[in-house]
Every structure is written in structure tokens, then in C-alpha cells.
A and B are shown apart, each in its own frame.
Chain A
Amino acid sequence: MTAPALSRRGVADQATRPVSTRRGWRQDLTGWAFAAPFVILFGVFMALPILISFLLSFTSFGLRDLQNPIGTTFVGADNYTRLLSDGKFWKALGNTFYFVAVGVPLTLAIGLLIASALSRGISRFRTVFRVGYYLPVITSIVAIAVVWRFLLNPDVGLINSVLRGIGISGPDWLASPALAMPSIIAMAVWRNLGFAMVVFIAGLQAIPAVLYEAASIDGAGRWQSFRYVTLPMLRPTILFMLVITTIGYLQLFEEPFVMTDGGPLDATLSVTMYMYQQGFEFFKQGYASAVAYVLFVIVAVIAFLQFRFLREDA
């Protein structure tokens, strides 16, 4: 049946077209009916805004345009050329990269360390440990930032009182331009390592036991089997976590918003925070859209590069 049908495809198509079209039309309708609620909501509040945001970034949209968005003025690439010479934007970009460059490797390394200890080092209390390490992941960043700001308080905070107890006079963490960002990084690592841990545990469970056995027959120690079995086998999981964590960390916002307001001396100002300030404190929404789009492009490029390079040198 199939062979003649294939060789005379044109004829067969013509013969069945009226029937299949009617049937196909009904199938299309059913498909779109199921898709409709999602597609409408998604189109209006997600897809369309991505386009509008792009258009807005070429306008001088501000507070007075809010009631009459169509009447706003197009300014060409002015917003983007202004960004290039905006020192505060570059500062925010630098801070965000600093946060990502230190925060992402630390989160992944500690997450992997704990995942290995939990799945290959011990046999009891696994659930208790897993729940404990995962706890901060599901809690509000705002609440965590409020609590950590209090922990880091130079006078009444727990951290400095512990330091005082061993005779060290702790610094004012969040008021020091050099220490504010490392403090925020420490908090972000603390909050997110549980997510990395859970994903790595799943990845570790998928590694066949026979590989470890073969390695130990060949005389490999714990470090060697980690280096030559675990790491290569876990590569896709590590890549996935690297991309996800980087995308998340590039959007740093709540932590500096609550803990430092971007200070001191803009040391913790992030790109998203700068966008928020421009858009909703100074009401320059056109300019803020340009900031948002630059971040979008950076996220896309970094995700692409991570997939590209890390996949190839496997």
C-alpha cells in the first residue's frame, strides 16, 4: 500500500483532499480551542509586551504619555547611545557581572558537594538534610533579605555578635562598598544552593553504578572516581544548572532593593534595579525599556554561548 501511495503521491493527495480537508479543518478547530485560553493570555501579556518593549526602547516614553501611548515621540537609537555613555548603567552592568561571576560557580560547587555527600557519602537522615538545605529556596527573597539585613546589622546583628564573642570587631557589612556585594553574594549562594543540590542529586542517581565499580576495580580512589566518572557523566546536568543559574542571577533585584537600595556608592546597583529606578522612580519608561532590552540580549547571548561551548568540548 505505502509504496504506490508514495510514488504517486500527487494522485493520492488529489483523491483524498476533500475528505481530509474537512476532517483536518475540524481537527484544527479542536486544537485551537484547547490552545485558545493559553494563547490569548500568553499573547496579550507575554508575547506582545516583548515586542512593545522593543518599540518603547526607541521612544522617549514617560509619565505624560501613559494615557496616550500612541502619541509618544520616536527618538531612534538615542536611548541606546545614551546608555553607552551612562556611567551608572556601566556600573550596574559591572556589578551584575561580578555577582554572576562569583555567585554562580559558588552556588554550583557547593550544591554539587552537598549532593555528592548526600547521595554517596551517607545512608541515613537523607530526607532531613535535603529538606533543610532546600528550605531557603522556597521562601520569599524579600523575607530572606530582611532577615539577612538584620543578621548583618553591625550593632545588633547575630554575625557581628558572634565575631565579638571571639574578640573580632566585625565591619558594617552592607555599608562598606567593598563588602556589600560579597555579603549579597553569600546570601544568594545560601538561598540557591538547595536548588542546585536537588537537581544534582537527580543527576547523580542516573549514573550507572557499574561505572563506579569499574573505576574502583581499576584502583581509582574517591577523588579519582569523582573526577573521571561523576564529573563527565554529570556534564549535561551541570550545563543545565549553569545556564539556569546564570539567567536567574543576571536578573538580580530583590536583594539590593531591600538590603542596600543599590548602595553604598552604587556598589550593589544591578541592571534590573537600574531599570526599575529609571522606569518607576524617574518615569523614563522609554529609557528603562532600552535597559531591559540590553539585559535581554545579554541573557540570550550568554545562554547561547554556554550551550555552544560547553557542549562542544565534551
Chain B
Amino acid sequence: MTAIQAPSGGRSALDDMPAKGSPSRIWIYAGLTLGILLMVGPFLWMLLGSLKPQAEFLVNPPTFLPKNPTIDNFTRLFDQLDFPRFFFNSSLVAVAVTLGNVLFCPMLGYALAKLKWRGKGLVMGLVLATLMVPAGITLIPNFVLMANLNLVNTYPGLILPFLVGPFGVFLTRQFMYGIPDELLEAARIDGANEWRIFWGIVLPITAPVLATLGILTFLGSWNSFLYPLVMAQEPDMYTLPVALATFATGQYQADHGMLMAGSVVLVLPVLIIFILFQRWITEGIATTGLKG
């Protein structure tokens, strides 16, 4: 292997790509650009739709660009429907769930990667075994449990089951394996207890992974639907996806402008987070996905 590799050292897999300006390369760019238009098109359609007045949905043929742009749809969301409340509910739940995962998952990750204790294998097996369990399985028992604890339609009812998850454990455990034992041993000799080692040394080193975990957990919670649909029985506890789905399948199903505005409110925060942190997200998924 080395003998073959040596003379070609500087070359990369990219060298046999079609030459600049060659016809095949232009076709690839053209194909990818067409693809991007198809990907972004629906988002554009959503945004433009949210700015159209009601009357413009009745004209035939339908318009693509709004003729008389208005923010009326958004004002109706916030005045007639309780969207500020739904937005607050979604944010509160997502922040709480994220904090739980970012604290509790690395704690177990640390115990699994760096500590010796009886029962470790059992806990690891338990976490592994639940990785492929469909979400529907735990839905009904959790509903029964919450009903008996009087937590249906409350914030704890929406938050508690998601404060921890197997994904965060794998992600942090994997990373913490790489932290040299000598570093932790030195701190132990200096008299630091395990909590101080975890809090003062391990967590700061793990920060980039925690950022990825935090972003992905926040997005997952912000977008989650089936569980809050069951657990939020009254409109005052609706999260944004539950509210949007309820209106879209109920009395507002033909109110396209308002539904598009609702979608914008649901999607926009996520788009902003994604554009700011896209590197953390796509690279986090690529590496953990493969090692998972």
C-alpha cells in the first residue's frame, strides 16, 4: 500500500473529476441547480403564500408572486389565534428538553467511558436495546402514566419523557473515550473528586459535541408532533406543530394564507438556527451517524 501511495502522495479523490468548463461538468452544475430549485421552491411558495391577501387565492390562474403583499395573515395569527402562546410553549419545552439532554447525557456518557462500576454493562445494554424502538410504543403507557399523575396538559407532562435520550449518550461516550486517562488521573492525584473532574475538565473538552447535541435536540423537540398531540389536550398547551396541524385539519383548512403564515412561524426559527450552525449540524450527523 505505502509503495503505491508514495509517488501519488499529493493527489486526492477529486483529481479525476471532469475538467473545468467541460460539458459533463456543466451538466452536473445544471442538474444540481435544478435540484436546488426543487428543494427551495416549496419554501418560497410558503413565504409568498403567507404574504398574499385572502382574495388572491380565489383568482384563476393563481398568482405566484403576491400582487398586493400584506402581513394581514400574520396579524390574524397573533390576534385571532393564540400563536404567541404556542410559540412560547414550543420554546419552553424545547429549551427544557435541550438542557436536560446536554447535562444528563454527558454524565452517563462519562460514567460509561471513563469510570469502572458494576452495572455498567447492564445500563449500556438497556440504552442500546431501546435505540430501535418505535416512538408509538411508549406513547400509550406514558399517556396512562401522565393521566394518573395529573400531568396531562401540563409542561412537565410535555417535557419529562424527553429530558434524556440514547442518542446523547452515544455521542458523548464516543467522544469521551478519546480524552486521555492521564489527564483525569493527574487531577485525581491532585485530590479532585469525580464531579469536579467531570465539571471542570471533561465537560469543557466535550463542549463542541455538546453544541451539536444541543442543536439537534432543540430541533427535534421543536418539530416533534405525535407526543404533544396526545399530551396537549387544550389549546393553552398546544405547541406550534400541534396548533398548525389542528388548524390545518379543522376549521381553517381552506385559509391558505393563514396556514402558510403559521408554517413560516414554525419553520423560520429553525432556518435561522440552521443557517447559523449548519456546520455543527451536518458534520455532527455525518460522523455520529456513521459511528452510531
A residues contacting B by CB (< 8 A) are 24, 27-32, 34-35, 37-39, 41-42, 44-50, 52-53, 56, 61, 66-67, 69, 114, 117-123, 127-136, 138-151, 153, 155-158, 161, 164-165, 190, 194-195, 198-199, 201-205, 207-210, 212-214, 216, 225, 237, 240, 244, 247, 250-251, 253-254, 257-258, 261, 272, 275-276, 279-280, 285, 288-289, 292-293, 295-296, 299-300, 303
Our pick among A47, A146, A202, A303 for the contact of B286 (Cβ within 8 Å) is: A202
- Asked whether A199 and B111 contact (CB < 8 A) given A34-B198, A39-B123, A142-B266, the answer is no
B290 at the interface (CB under 8 A from A): yes
**Inter-chain contacts of B110 with A (CB < 8 A):** 34
Q: Which of A35, A123, A127 has the largest count of B CB atoms less than 10 A from its CB?
A: A35
- Asked whether A120 and B17 contact (CB < 8 A) given A30-B117, A38-B108, A251-B134, the answer is yes
**Inter-chain contacts of A157 with B (CB < 8 A):** 62
**Inter-chain contacts of B100 with A (CB < 8 A):** 41
Are A135 and B194 in contact (CB-based, < 8 A)? no
**Inter-chain contacts of B127 with A (CB < 8 A):** 42
Q: Which residue of B lies closest to A206 (CB)?
A: B290
**In the bound complex, what is the Cα–Cα distance between A53 and B145 (angstroms)?**
11
Are B105 and A38 in contact (CB-based, < 8 A)? yes
Q: Which residue of B lies closest to A261 (CB)?
A: B249
**In the bound complex, what is the Cα–Cα distance between A119 and B32 (angstroms)?**
12
**Inter-chain contacts of A279 with B (CB < 8 A):** 139-140, 143
Our pick among B15, B43, B259 for the contact of A135 (Cβ within 8 Å) is: B43
Q: Which residue of B lies closest to A132 (CB)?
A: B36
Our pick among B57, B134, B194, B241 for the contact of A299 (Cβ within 8 Å) is: B134
Q: Can you show 28 pairs from A to B with CB atoms below 8 A apart?
A: A29-B117, A31-B117, A34-B107, A35-B117, A38-B105, A41-B160, A41-B161, A46-B138, A50-B133, A50-B138, A52-B145, A69-B144, A121-B17, A122-B25, A122-B29, A123-B14, A129-B32, A138-B281, A143-B244, A150-B256, A150-B259, A198-B285, A212-B13, A214-B4, A257-B245, A257-B249, A285-B140, A292-B134
Our pick among B39, B118, B223 for the contact of A132 (Cβ within 8 Å) is: B39
Are B32 and A122 in contact (CB-based, < 8 A)? yes
Q: How far is the CB of B264 from chain A (nearest CB, A)?
A: 8
Are B126 and A42 in contact (CB-based, < 8 A)? yes
B31 at the interface (CB under 8 A from A): yes
- Asked whether A53 and B138 contact (CB < 8 A) given A30-B194, A120-B13, the answer is yes
Q: Which residue of A lies closest to B36 (CB)?
A: A132
Question: Can you list the 5 inter-chain pairs with the closest CB atoms, starting with the nearest?
Answer: A31-B117, A202-B286, A49-B141, A34-B111, A45-B161
Are B256 and A156 in contact (CB-based, < 8 A)? yes
Q: Which of B68-76, B179-187, B203-211, B268-276 contacts A (4 or more CB under 8 A)?
A: B268-276
Are A139 and B223 in contact (CB-based, < 8 A)? yes
Our pick among B35, B64, B225, B270 for the contact of A138 (Cβ within 8 Å) is: B270
Q: How far is the CB of A280 from chain B (nearest CB, A)?
A: 6
Our pick among A142, A272, A285, A303 for the contact of B136 (Cβ within 8 Å) is: A272
Q: Which of A31, A44, A203, A253 has the largest count of B CB atoms less than 10 A from its CB?
A: A31
Q: Which residue of B lies closest to A304 (CB)?
A: B132
B232 at the interface (CB under 8 A from A): no
Are B267 and A37 in contact (CB-based, < 8 A)? no
Q: How far is the CB of A118 from chain B (nearest CB, A)?
A: 7
**Inter-chain contacts of A117 with B (CB < 8 A):** 28, 31-32
Q: Which residue of B lies closest to A209 (CB)?
A: B13
- Asked whether A131 and B275 contact (CB < 8 A) given A38-B108, A53-B137, A114-B35, the answer is yes
**Inter-chain contacts of A28 with B (CB < 8 A):** 117-119
**In the bound complex, what is the Cα–Cα distance between A130 and B8 (angstroms)?**
29
Q: How far is the CB of A69 from chain B (nearest CB, A)?
A: 6
Are B17 and A123 in contact (CB-based, < 8 A)? yes
Are B144 and A35 in contact (CB-based, < 8 A)? no
**Inter-chain contacts of B160 with A (CB < 8 A):** 41, 45
**Inter-chain contacts of B105 with A (CB < 8 A):** 38
Are B263 and A143 in contact (CB-based, < 8 A)? yes
**Inter-chain contacts of B49 with A (CB < 8 A):** 147, 150
**In the bound complex, what is the Cα–Cα distance between A200 and B244 (angstroms)?**
33
Chain B, residues 152-190, CB within 8 Å of chain A (1/0): the string is 000000001101100001000000000000000000000
- Asked whether A47 and B141 contact (CB < 8 A) given A122-B29, A129-B36, the answer is no
Q: Which of B141, B245, B267 has the largest count of A CB atoms less than 10 A from its CB?
A: B141
Q: Which of B42, B61, B62, B108 has the largest count of A CB atoms less than 10 A from its CB?
A: B42
From residue 240 to 292 of chain B, which have CB atoms closer than 8 A to chain A?
240-241, 244-245, 248-249, 256, 259-260, 262-263, 266-267, 270-271, 274-275, 278, 281-282, 285-287, 289-290, 292
* Known interface pairs A140-B240, A296-B137; 19 further A-B residue pairs with C-beta atoms within 8 A, sorted by A's residue number: A28-B118, A30-B117, A44-B145, A46-B161, A50-B137, A117-B28, A119-B13, A135-B39, A142-B248, A143-B241, A146-B262, A156-B256, A198-B285, A202-B290, A210-B4, A216-B16, A251-B135, A272-B226, A299-B134
Are B260 and A150 in contact (CB-based, < 8 A)? yes
- Asked whether A213 and B38 contact (CB < 8 A) given A142-B244, A202-B290, A257-B249, the answer is no
